Structures are given as C-alpha cells and as structure tokens.
Structure 1
Amino acid sequence: MSLRVAIMTDETGWHTGRLKKAFRARAVEARCVDLADCRIDTTWKPHGLAIPGFGHTLPDAVFVRGIAGGTFEQVTLRLGILHALRESGVPVYNDARAIERSVDKSMTSFLLHRYGVPTPATWAGESAAHAQRVLMREAAAHRQVVIKPLFGSQGKGLKKLDTHLPELASFNEVAYLQRFIDATDFDWRVLVIGAKAVAVMKRVGGGGEDWIHNFARGARCETAELTPALAETAIRATQALGLDYAGVDLIPSDETQRPLVLEVNGVAAWRGLQSVTTHDIATLLVDDLLDRKLASTRDVPASSANGRV
C-alpha cells in the first residue's frame, strides 16, 4: 500500500499544487486537509483522532503548509491536533512545537539570542512604561526602534518609532520592540531544508515602505549569492528553533560585519524564491520529508541519484 500524506492547509493553490505534484513523483498519495476540519474524538477508534479523508487510520506523515487564524481557542485546538499527531507517532513537518517557537516573535528572538545567532537587540513585555524607556534610551544613542505585532507575517503592522510609543491596544497590549538596522534597501531570504541552506534571494523595495521587504507587499525578488556567512547563519537559526525547514530573513549589518537574522518563518512560502532559483523547491521539501524525517521512523524507499525510486 502506498504512503499517504496529509498536507495541512487552510487554502489550496500554487504551493499545494506543487507539493502534490512532487509527492506523486514519489508514488505518494497526498491529500489537502484543513486543521479546522480535524478533531480530537476519544470514541474514534483506535487513535482518538479524526482526520478527514483518512477514516479510522492516520496519515503516514503530515506536511504543515498553513494554519488558519482564529480565536485563541481555535488556534490552540489546531496546534493541539498537530501535537496529538506527533504523540501518535506521525512525523509532522514542521511540528507544532517548532511552529509555536517561530510564530511567537519574542520566543524566536529569545532562542536566537540564547544560541548565539546574530539578531538585532529586542525587547518584549507588557509594560508600556518600560517600552517608553527603551525608546528614550535608544533615541539618546541616535538609534530607532521598530514595533511589531507579536504574531504576524508579510510585514503587516510594522511601525518605525521615534520617541513616542503608540497605544499598545492595537498590538494586543504587548510591546515587541526591535532595534532598527538601517543598512541597505534590501534583505535576504534563505531557505533551509533539513539542515542545508538550499536557496537564497534578495528582496528589494516593497509596499511604499522602503525598509519592509516582503514579497507579499510588492518587493522585487532578485538572484543573490548564497555566501558561507548567509548559509551558516540561516542554518543555525533554523536549528535554534528546531525546524525541519524554514525561510530565514536576514539583513546586512555594518556593526557586526555579519548578517543579522530578523525573522524565522516556520510555515514559509516560496513562490517568490522559486522564481529566482533553478531548484524545484517542492521536490526538495518532499524528498527531505520522505528520505530523512519519515525514513528515520520506518523503511521508506529513498530517491536515487538520477531519479525517483
């Protein structure tokens, strides 16, 4: 019987199409499943987990492509489904623990700092008074600070501050502050898969804010050299968060002479990156899931040097 994989996603499109094609090339049946449709059901024998399309069985592996937003309870349950799958012995790529670390920007910053990965100075807390003191101290040193939503993506909600702290109500009462690095008009996105940096691009411009370089906001994707410094830093960032694969955003720094990690994306899109690399990224992701992640738990045919087996 062929392997069956669940692609967890709240929407289908270009990314899921590429993944399903790559799974078919490995003779693996891949089915898109919305985590919102899954449930914990202790009467559902034998596992207590109901995954649409898999009956009373569980998938052989899970690829997490997207988790829809929702209430705190809804997101907690969806992550709980991923936790439960892992507890049931199903390889989850990336698993819930790693996604939680990367989605929470404060935990990302903490882990990068703890493991010695270069990243801008960061402060996160609920005290508006402390956040205001940070702004004043940084301004006295002729530095600026950026405030970001603790949970967010695609450059949404970022604000560059001077000495005035905005109302924290619009940031859900949490001040996540990061020292602004005024280096260039671009940043890098490095894709790490299975502890290997496989592709890089420059993201230039975007969205009217020349310091926010997200493809979803109109940034231009350009080819770039995957230097040893970029590769090493991105790999270390991915490992610090325990991710199987990640899109790591880096920026050059005149102060450290090494790239700084801004963010680590545990559910990374790669459409922009695919446009500037010759690698088939979906194939690399699928091969890593099957040949490394899943093969470590069971006997799975590996890809040959010149094709699929």
Structure 2
Amino acid sequence: MPTFAALVSGYGWHVEDLLRAADAQRVQLRALPFADVNASIGFAGSAVKAGGICLDDMDGVLVRMMPPGTLEQVVFRMDALHRLTAAGVPVWNPPRAVEAAVDKYLTLSLLERRGLPVPATWVGQTAEEAIAAFEALGGDVVVKPLFGSEGRGLMRVEHREMAWRCFHTIERMGAAIYLQRWIRHPGHDLRLFVLKGRVLAAMRRTACDGEWRTNVAIGGRAEAWEPDAEASQLAVVAAEAVGAVFAGVDLIEDVDAGTRLLIEVNAVPGWRALAGATGIDVAAEILAALREAAR
C-alpha cells in the first residue's frame, strides 16, 4: 500500500477530504504539520522529518498548505521540499511551482514570458512611483497584496487622493505596492482546475450583490462550467509555465477588449467549492494521480 504524507497547516475540511479519499483509494495518508518539519545532515540518515516521520521514505508528499512564519522559517520549509525532490521523492506541487505561484508578480512574469494574456500590472516600492503608475494605468486600479489568496486584501482605487493615501500607507509598512489595471468584467470569473496537463473540472464564480470580487470565500456563488478549448488551453499552459502538476487557474473576461486574461495560478488550490459545484471528487483524483506517479 502506498504511503503519502500531506504537509498541512491545521486540520480543516481539505485535510479531512484527503483522508476520506485516501481510504477510498486504499492508500495510507499521514497528515503532518508543516511547522514540525526538521532536517538532519551528516547524522541520523541525513533525512527530512515531520512529526517523527521520515519524509524520505514516503511514496509521495503533498503540499496542502504552508502556515505563516518568519522569512527564515518559510525559506527552510522550501529548502526541505527541495531536499526531498533531489532525493527522488515526488513532491506535489514541486517547490519551484509553490515558490512561483505564491508570488503574484513572479506568476504573471512567467505567464507573460510564455506569451499568455495577463492584465497590465505594476509592482514597486515607493508611493511616488506608484502614483505615476496609477495614472499610466488609467487612474483605476486594483491594489493587491503580493502574497495572498481568496480575494483577501484587494482594494479598488479610482481616485488620486485615495491612491496617494493607500500607496503611502503600504510604503510605510515596508510592503511591495502591487497595482493592476481595473478590468471591467461581466460579474463573474472562471476557475479551472488543472491536473497533470488536463482540465479536471471548472466553475464559474459570480460576485454577490454589491461586490466586484468573485471569490467564494467572501460570498461569491459557484456553478459548474464546461470549459471551451481556448480556456482549457490557457489553463494548461499557465500551469506548465509555473511548473505545477496541479493548479487552480483563474481567468477573467475583459468586457471592453473582448478577451480573456489570466489573473492567477494557485499551486496550493482549494477545491471545496469546485467539488460541490461539479460533483467531481478532486481529492481522489489528486491521490490517484500521485499514486500513479509513485510507481
């Protein structure tokens, strides 16, 4: 029986769903806290462990969620994943993909290099330069945290005075200022779940009344959606661009330009809303694919 480890931050719905699917798939899955990862070099077998379990002995490791931490802690956790990958342990998603997808700027730069359509975006460190970029982007932008998910921390800024206050606040915090041209969309976006080079499932997320953000975590409504060839191709190539074996890829429709744009690739995607909307057992599909890769 294959034995996998899932590196987790807490034991919420997704971990329970993976454990349920593991029983059905006849695989052993150990949910281990990412914060407990440690590594030895030159003694004790030069191994990476978590919760007393040697991850080098696993048939595969799933990165479910990384807990918050200091820069050193996060870097070490990624180092441990790189060590496992170098030792031949299948790590999903690979550490390079996790590193790329967690960083919105790096994600978009990789997508652009592949010739994929992305929104006009500016990232910098000073409020003065951000004001100039705000005006160059048409005076209507979405301000995003460089690291973040589920629509948290997004703000639409349409007025120069508000922009001045917002950008100076971010500058004082020592954070990067990430601006993206406001895209007029039809009130919904598209989430496609890619697994090993194919779209496993897709949904349309519609914003609730009075809200422009479509994320289900903040009240958006999810419904199953059958992706067309263009959307599927964009999603698959986007996942490849960041090196992800599986990913949640988000597309938005630009009403004014009549085109679709890639706005995010999530290498640690959730699937609760997707599974509910489509009826597809995403957790079982991930474990079955990992089991195949481990053979």
Aligned twin of 1:98? 97
- Gap change, CA 1:56 and 1:131, over 3 Å in 2: closer
Which residue matches 1:219? 220
User: In 2, are the aligned partners of 1:149 and 1:171 still within 8 Å (CA)?
Assistant: no
Which residues in structure 2 correspond to 1:239-254 (within 5 Å)? Answer: 239-254=240-255
| Paired residues for 1:167-206 under 5 Å | 167-169=169-171, 172-206=174-208
Q: Tell me the residue number matched to 1:148.
A: 144
Question: Which of the two has greater helix per residue?
Answer: 2
The partner residue of 1:158 within 154, 169, 177 is: 154
Q: Compute the displacement of 1:170 (Å).
A: 6.6
Runs of 4+ in 1 over 3 A off after TM superposition: 169-172, 254-258
Task: Describe the superposition over 1:75-107 as per-residue Cα deviations: whole angstroms up to 9, x where unpaired.
Answer: 112222211111221110001110010001110
> Are the counterparts in 2 of residues 233 and 259 from structure 1 also a CA contact under 8 Å?
no
Mapping of residues 1-309 of structure 1, within 5 Å: 2-42=1-41, 44-55=43-54, 58-139=57-138, 144-162=140-158, 163=160, 164-165=163-164, 166=166, 167-169=169-171, 172-206=174-208, 210-291=211-292, 293-294=293-294, 300=295
Distance change (3 Å), C-alpha of 1:148 and 1:198: same
**TM-score scaled by structure 1?**
0.88
Asked if structure 2 preserves the Cα contact closer than 8 Å seen for 1:189 and 1:248, the reply is yes
* Alignment check: 8 A CA contact 1:202 1:221 kept: yes
CA offsets 1:126-175 (integer angstroms, 9 cap, x no match): 23222111112233xxx521111111111111111122241224764311
Distance in structure 1 (CA, Å) of the matches to 2:54 and 2:230: 47
- Contact kept, 8 Å, 2:59 with 2:89, in 1: the verdict is yes
After TM superposition, give the deviation of residue 188 of structure 1 in Å.
Answer: 1.0
Judge which range, 274-283 or 264-273, deviates more.
274-283
- AA aligned to 1:117 is L
Cα distance, 1:56–1:172 mapped onto 2, change above 3 Å: closer
**AA of the residue aligned to 2:28:** E
Read off the aligned partner of 1:260 and give its amino acid letter. Answer: L
Change (3 A) 1:170 1:214: farther
Deviation at 1:254, TM superposition (A): 3.2
For residues 107 and 266 of structure 2, the distance between their equivalents in structure 1, rounded to whole angstroms, comes to 10
Contact persistence 1:42–1:49 (CA under 8 A): no
Runs of at least 5 residues in structure 1 that lack an aligned partner in the other structure: 295-299, 301-309
Identity of aligned residues (%): 35
SS of residue matched to 2:223: strand
Question: Deviations along 1:197-249, whole A, 9 cap, x unmatched?
Answer: 1111111114x762211111111111222111211111111111000101111
Higher RCO (C-alpha 8 Å, min separation 6): 2
Shift of 1:255: 4.7
- Listed as ranges, the gaps of 5+ residues in structure 2 are none
Distance 1:132 1:284, change over 3 A: same
